[in-house]
Amino acid sequence: MKRLSLFVMLLALIFTAVQCGGSAPAPAAPAQEEAKEEAAAPAQEEAAPAEEAAAEPEVASEEPAAEEAMTGEETVVTIGYTASKTGSQEVPSRGQTHGLELWLEQINQNGITLADGTVVKFQAVTYDDESAKERVQSLYTTLVEQDGANFLISPYSSGLTDAAAVIAETYGTTMITTGAASDDTYKKGLTLVYQL
């Protein structure tokens, strides 16, 4: 049985290679190639100015005012998160917070330019959750209701993330989880919570 399945797979591979390969053109004789190169040389010299013109980008002139108005507009997206600056999760939370701060710094140097020319930059609103679930729920509610967070980043640890995920779903705000390894949060059928 093993040999038969191996044979069928090998046969399928050969068949695919033959079908995809096609037929290659026969190589030209060396004398024919030299004659073609000599004949093509003057044509290449004549084509050089046309190639230079083609190398320059085409600029559409029908709507320059509309395009200029759209380019360069800046929009700021608010990311909300809590960090355990105190409490039992202080040390591991610090690494997550430093990573997020570094990302914000680097991405905001130039921003993200969208297809319509809009430049997106990010600002962060953060609170100390003191490594407490009750505080996490209260602070994530504040991030959405009062601070207007467009997106949420989870706190560090599975337990704290589970508490924050409920708030994200309740308020219809997307949350990215980064420091939560337990699958329990993701088995609840949440639709706005994504794990990195």
* CA distance to 47, 79, 112, 186, per residue, from 148 (Å): 59, 9, 21, 25
Res 133: pLDDT: 95
For the structural domain made of 73-195, what CATH number should be given? 3.40.50.2300
* Side chain identity at residue 105, one-letter code: E
Res 148: pLDDT: 98
Below-70 pLDDT ranges, the chain: 1-71
User: What sign does the dihedral 29-33-34-35 (CA atoms) show?
Assistant: positive
147-192: pLDDT as tens digits: 999 999 999 999 999 999 999 999 999 999 988 888 888 888 889 9
**Which helix (H) or strand (E) element contains residue 167?**
helix 158-171
Res 71: pLDDT: 60
Q: Where do the structural domains in the chain lie, given as residue ranges?
A: 73-195
Would you say the pTM of this structure is higher than 0.85? no
Q: Residue 123 in 3-state DSSP?
A: strand
- The residue whose two tokens read 């706005």 is 192
Reference 138, options 167, 95, 102, 175; nearest CA is 167
